[in-house]
Structure 1
Amino acid sequence: MPVAGDRLLRSPAALEAMEDGVATVRNVLGAEGAAVLLTERDGRLIMGASAGTAAEMSLGELSVGGLGPAARAGSPWVALDASDPAAAALQARSLAAAPLESQGRLTGLVVAVSSVSGRFVEADAVRIGRLADEMSLSLEKARVGELERSWRGWLSFVAEASDLLAGTLDQERTMALVAQLVVPRLAVWCAVYTVTEVEPDRLAYVWHADENRADGLRELLEHAGAAPPIDAPGPWNGLATAPDDVRAAAGDTAADQVYAFPLIARGRRIGTIVIGRPSGDRFPRSAIELAEELSRRAALAVDNARLFSAQTAMSSALQRSLLPPGIPEIPGLEVAVVYEPAGEGSEVGGDFYDVFESGLRPAGAAPASRWRFAIGDVCGTGPAAAAVTGLARHALRILAAEDMSVPAVLGRLNRLILAEGERGRLLTLLHGEIAARRRRDGVTITLTSAGHPPPLLLAPDGDVREAASPQPLLGVFDGVEFHTDTVDLRRGEVLLCVTDGVTERRSGNRLLGDGHGLEGLLAGCTGLSARAVAARIQRAVRDFGPEPSNDDIALIVLRAS
């Protein structure tokens, strides 16, 4: 099998060896011209270096076989006149030639040419044979050096690509990154197809080195044949199936050489990468090998991003189901809420809140006069925590509809969590009832804090105090008796209820709640609306530490108006 000459043409050392070699051959043999012809993998000959009249030599699609039996014999030879196939093919009247070999494989030929018949003799064949042996050694050394350099570049490229692909779990961004890794290093353009339930191969992303051609390429691909459902890399002629007017609009791109690489992850095809180069720019083997390796790594990255996106969507839907659809209007009271789950949305948070009417109100009955609110924190995250969150939130509403008191609701909920056994989770909960007063000068709140950060009461003069006594959290002890604390929330007063994602927000070794930090923040909110208080606390929590919070954040602000 011939050694591909394109690798030698990329080596400065090989180019120097070939240029020196043809000059030596021309001088030693007194030839009018000399050349090094390199073999491609398909046997085709390309020009490596030339001197004298050989610089005008046209090879076209000439192969080693086209030079006749002497060229295939693997020994130096001379052609005395133009009747020899080699001399005729190289537009010479006579020539001397010798093979270039590397590890028993043909690398190319060294030829000396003349416009005079009978110019070379057998002794010239011996001389050019010796020169070819010396040049073969130099070219082999250069080839090995170029191969090592290419492998170092290959490994560096693959390592860099792997790091970049591992750095994102966004499906669209992953596909864009794949295309931009391919272009322009391996191809002029790249397209990524994905397999979906609706479409077997959907054109998901297109990238062209020339931005002016990107739209035409996309149009061409959308009208071309579907990406091949292949299991191995190979050429693709799908562009030829596009309508003539679309091909005309795409210009030269319609004639590009195209290769397709399957994206196979976990034993199934999830898409295809298609890459293209101009028709005259052949794909070197190294580019195909690199693209094949990249497609394997890209397949896993795209599939991981797809799975993460599906998990995130499912978690987001579950999270929304665990939060109230809206906050009721309560006369004489402003209500503001904040909820921020930790992480990137791939897990369901353990914090929750709710505000709802207390008891059942038949249709046509008088407006509600009592409401319930709750803010809680289930230990942990994920589906197990979500199960307890759902149990707690729905149980609160159901039990409140039965007109159970706040302590009775917490007692029943505690028994329900304990009944879950190993599936149960610890739960801190602040639960209270809001009752409007006849004088419309505020509201009365009865509440219980079960293992939860105590609510803070802000007076109009800036004084801040705790508004509830601590009681046991839920899911630990059976038979706990809960009691309520009462808060008369007068006009202008604010009740702040938070989860420990606020009080335990960390900056180094310091927590936001250390040294009455939250009380200080709330004291600075005097005169603000409930919504403004919630926004200021939320911003303070975000700005407290340099790193994103690793805990859910929930808060309820109640302000008597």
Structure 2
Amino acid sequence: MERGILDDQTQTAGQETGLVRGVVDESLTARATLDEDGMVTGWNDGAEQLLGYAAAQILGRPAVILLADEPTAPDLPPFAGLPRWHGEVALRHRDGHRVEAHVLAHHRMPVDRSGEWLVLSPSTAQEPRPADEDLVSWSFTQSPCCAQALYDTGLRLRRANEDMERSVALTEGDMRGLRVSEIVDNEAGELAEQDMIRVLETGKTHYRENYLRAAGENREHAWSVVLAPLRDSGGRPHGVCLSAHDITEQYWARNRLQLIAEAGRRIGSTLDVTRTAQELANVAVPELADFVSVDLLASLGDGQEQSLGPGSPLVLRRIAHQSVHPEIPEAVVAPDEVDEYPEGSPPAETLRSGRAVLYQVTDPAIAGWVVRDPLRSSRIRDFGFHSAMTVPLSARGTTLGVAVFARHRRPEPFQQDDLVLAEELAARAAVCIDNALRYTRERGTAVTLQRSLLPQRLPEQSAVEVATRYLPAGAQAGVGGDWFDVIPLSGARVALVVGDVVGHGIHASATMGRLRTAVRTLADIDLPPDELLTHLDDLVGRLATEEDGTEWSAGSGGKAVSSMASMASMSAGDVGATCLYAVYDPVSRVCTLARAGHPLPVVVSPDGTVELLDLPAGPPLGLGGLPFESVEIELPEGSLLALYTDGLVESRETDIDEGVSRLCQALTRPTVSLDVMCDTVLGAVLPHRPADDVALLVARTRALDPTRVAVWDVAPDPAAVAEARKNAIGQLESWGLTDAAFVTELVVSELVTNAIRHAEPPIQLRLIHDRSLICEVSDADNTSPHMRRARTYDEGGRGLLLVAQLTQRWGTRPTPTGKTIWAEQDL
């Protein structure tokens, strides 16, 4: 097949060569070829006519015999490195006379053989003939390359060619003697006249581009205008030549490239679906269309798949539109409204076929559609819509919606190149919209997960008044792992927790849920804050090893063997967190706090004094190997304690010190409630949507009335049990809780008896009248009791079982000097 193609090409070339030879007189050009050694290898009739040698007399002989003068080596150019040479050469005719000839030599370098020189020279002098003047005149008037006009030094037209006559719809006779600003009555004519003056003054050519519709054209054209001076042999200017090249196609090609580049910069600047669609509309108006609408499938919002098959209605939601008119009066559908498109309408057919289509308003597809829609019909008529394009929005095999481009102000209808450009813009926007939709779904899932893992409502307790806020990060960062918690503890105490997991997204939210569950579990066994953080640190180390598959070494202090050196080195897939854990006791008004790499809490005293508590920093959770320290601080009743994550006080624009300063100022402002205070803090510290998640917990401390707490020291003597029961019953009577006397008497008797028998003094009994009745027995022994079921003949072992059955909750907690066993009864 390839041989056949080559034969056809060779045959065609031979036919064209024959045509040329039938027109051209070969004898008018002296043609010779020389090999690289300077031997004559070709000789035609023109060479014989010029120098008198027949081909048989010169072929195979050195070309140097044809020279009239022997050249010297310094005078010879480097022929081997030249692709071409030309110049005057003195030749010797066969009869001996000297011939001065102008020679043009081409250096041929064929791939398959050695090089050769093709030497050409006119065999006879070609002197100008009278017909040449006619050729010059005809070439000017009939030039198809550009519109040309000649102006004298007074800027008056003298000559114009046929293209110029057609472009302005005037004959040369109509224009002769007029200025260009009189021929073209617009700004372009005035600019051309100014350029002419500049050309006459400087003698330099001037270039300008215009975009306009001339009187002889039915649409606007782009013109490349060149103004050049016309000078005589002495250099004196005698006029100006104006050449106007129609560069409309190049102009629009360049504009399309610029528009595509602009679309790359502007479309998809955020992960917001509506804004991305609006960016597409803004880019296309007015550069491509006078009106653009972007509609997405209505089912995209609810996660369901909409059928695009024949017969099923197509429901689209308007996401964005733009117009050359400020108020966008052409729009039939408002943003976020839903409209149904019947089968056969251009948007429906474009979505079902997946192909972009160019329409004229008079096409049956549009005419049949709008005739059933009076509002659309009136818009088309009122604004003069004449051309439209419907382009599908699809990405990664998913159909998203349709973009409609329409023209009414610009008179030119859309062309096929415009459709290609619209497809390119729509394709770019579709990928960005799909990214935004995917991100929105993932972020919605993460936000839902995050909020479901946070406390749905705060527990009832008397120690503090609490208000909280959680604010997810902005669109770029995504939902993070910030959390807060309020955990009621034994003895009317309460634990306040704020934490921050490294990273964003579902992974961070899930990790946050695991850590929050772990904190509540550890809080249930009443661990002190420093010990709780130590256990939590071990847990985070284990979670990290689950992520990277390394082994967890208990001998390394609960530290993963390959754990990160610092939080700064953690990637999105690593597990790490910061945490602040505080326990407040309303009886003693003492707050015990410990932190793991978390921002310092703020305390506002009742007199308005603001203090940033100086707590030992502690390493972030997950690093392992380093201890945590607790600090105890006594808080007056009515003190305000603020716990927060770093997203509240630190951002790219705000230094953390500045953010903490704003927070402290906001906390001192008087508000009617803690809920209002939270809003005040967020408004003052976060003027914009945060780049990171924000968790805020504000607590106002309360103090338990001393009359609601009773404490007795118990002697380590079995006889003291009766005294303890008596004291407890008497206290209940004074509180008006005689209904709880029977259960309380059993609980006191059992707990005090166990302490006397199995623990070490000092022993103390305490009753607390809060939302429940709390009975506590403290001793100096660190061994915690365990409930067991007594066998049939056992004399003991039923005490704690009775306590568990008769009370709602019971447990034990460590103290600095031993332990405390407690039991609660609901009142």
With the length of structure 1 as denominator, give the TM-score of the two structures: 0.62
Q: 2:245 aligns with which of 139, 142, 155?
A: 142
Cα 1:150–1:248 change in 2 (3 A) is: closer
**Superposed displacement of residue 374, structure 1:** 0.4
Secondary structure of the corresponding residue to residue 167 of structure 1? coil
Alignment of structure 1 residues 379-398 onto 2, 5 Å: 379-398=502-521
**Superposed displacement of residue 295, structure 1:** 2.2
2:577 is aligned to: 427
Q: 1:251 aligns with which of 371, 378, 381?
A: 378
CA distance in 2, matches of 1:222, 1:420: 52
2:607 is aligned to: 461
CA distance in 2, matches of 1:258, 1:277: 6
CA distance in 2, matches of 1:146, 1:518: 59
2:700 is aligned to: 559
1:308 paired with 2:425, answer: no
Contact 1:379 1:425 in 2 (8 A): yes
CA distance in 1, matches of 2:251, 2:417: 12
- Deviation sequence 1:257-303 (CA, Å, 0-9, x none): 44322334335543332334469963234433432332232222322
Contact 1:529 1:559 in 2 (8 A): no
CA distance in 2, matches of 1:534, 1:316: 20
Q: 1:293 aligns with which of 424, 429, 432?
A: 424
In structure 1, the gaps of 5 or more residues are: 1-7, 28-46, 60-137, 360-367
CA distance in 1, matches of 2:696, 2:289: 53
Name the % identity: 27
- Deviation sequence 1:326-370 (CA, Å, 0-9, x none): 2234436321223334442652224321113337xxxxxxxx934
CA distance in 2, matches of 1:522, 1:180: 41
CA distance in 1, matches of 2:439, 2:275: 13
CA distance in 1, matches of 2:338, 2:596: 62
Q: Which moved more, 1:331-340 or 1:392-401?
A: 331-340
1:272 is aligned to: 402
2:665 is aligned to: 521
Cα 1:483–1:156 change in 2 (3 A) is: closer
**Superposed displacement of residue 404, structure 1:** 4.6
CA distance in 2, matches of 1:299, 1:178: 9
- Deviation sequence 1:417-469 (CA, Å, 0-9, x none): 122234363332211334443xxxx9543333233333333322344445574
2:223 is aligned to: none
1:203 paired with 2:316, answer: yes
Cα 1:263–1:401 change in 2 (3 A) is: same
2:186 is aligned to: none
CA distance in 2, matches of 1:452, 1:540: 21
CA distance in 2, matches of 1:248, 1:464: 64
Contact 1:460 1:526 in 2 (8 A): no
2:11 is aligned to: none
Q: 1:165 aligns with which of 257, 267, 270?
A: 267
Secondary structure of the corresponding residue to residue 457 of structure 1? strand
Contact 1:356 1:373 in 2 (8 A): yes
- Deviation sequence 1:88-135 (CA, Å, 0-9, x none): xxxxxxxxxxxxxxxxxxxxxxxxxxxxxxxxxxxxxxxxxxxxxxxx
1:400 paired with 2:547, answer: no
CA distance in 1, matches of 2:533, 2:418: 67
Secondary structure of the corresponding residue to residue 214 of structure 1? coil
Secondary structure of the corresponding residue to residue 166 of structure 1? coil
Contact 1:461 1:526 in 2 (8 A): no
Q: Which moved more, 1:396-405 or 1:499-508?
A: 499-508
Cα 1:486–1:531 change in 2 (3 A) is: farther
CA distance in 2, matches of 1:421, 1:470: 25
CA distance in 1, matches of 2:339, 2:374: 6
Secondary structure of the corresponding residue to residue 267 of structure 2? helix
1:450 is aligned to: 596
Secondary structure of the corresponding residue to residue 453 of structure 1? coil
Cα 1:483–1:303 change in 2 (3 A) is: closer
Q: Which amino acid aligns with 1:451?
A: G
Secondary structure of the corresponding residue to residue 373 of structure 2? helix
2:171 is aligned to: 23
Cα 1:528–1:17 change in 2 (3 A) is: same
Q: 2:537 aligns with which of 393, 399, 414?
A: 414
CA distance in 2, matches of 1:302, 1:317: 22
CA distance in 2, matches of 1:308, 1:168: 11
Secondary structure of the corresponding residue to residue 414 of structure 1? helix
**Superposed displacement of residue 18, structure 1:** 0.9
Contact 2:481 2:503 in 1 (8 A): yes
Contact 1:193 1:273 in 2 (8 A): yes
Contact 2:281 2:292 in 1 (8 A): yes
**Superposed displacement of residue 48, structure 1:** 9.3
Q: Which amino acid aligns with 1:154?
A: R
Q: 2:464 aligns with which of 329, 333, 343?
A: 333
CA distance in 1, matches of 2:330, 2:525: 68
Contact 2:268 2:279 in 1 (8 A): no
CA distance in 2, matches of 1:257, 1:449: 67
Q: Which amino acid aligns with 1:399?
A: L
Cα 1:216–1:522 change in 2 (3 A) is: closer
Contact 2:332 2:376 in 1 (8 A): no
1:190 paired with 2:292, answer: yes
Q: Which amino acid aligns with 2:686?
A: R
**Superposed displacement of residue 248, structure 1:** 7.6
Contact 1:178 1:298 in 2 (8 A): yes
Contact 2:618 2:627 in 1 (8 A): no
Work out which structure has the larger RCO, using CA pairs closer than 8 Å and 6 or more positions apart in sequence.
1
1:494 paired with 2:640, answer: yes
CA distance in 2, matches of 1:15, 1:322: 77
Q: Which amino acid aligns with 2:616?
A: P
Q: Which amino acid aligns with 2:512?
A: T
Q: 1:348 aligns with which of 472, 476, 479?
A: 479
Contact 1:447 1:468 in 2 (8 A): no
Secondary structure of the corresponding residue to residue 665 of structure 2? helix
CA distance in 2, matches of 1:243, 1:513: 58
Give the ranges of 4+ consecutive aligned residues of structure 1 lying more than 6 Å apart after TM superposition.
47-50, 216-221, 278-281
CA distance in 2, matches of 1:253, 1:178: 22
1:155 paired with 2:272, answer: no
Secondary structure of the corresponding residue to residue 516 of structure 2? helix
In structure 2, the gaps of 5 or more residues are: 1-145, 148-160, 176-212, 219-241, 309-313, 548-573, 703-827
- Deviation sequence 1:193-214 (CA, Å, 0-9, x none): 4354235454233556674442
Please identify the structure whose Cα radius of gyration is greater. 2
**Superposed displacement of residue 393, structure 1:** 0.7
Q: 2:685 aligns with which of 515, 518, 541?
A: 541
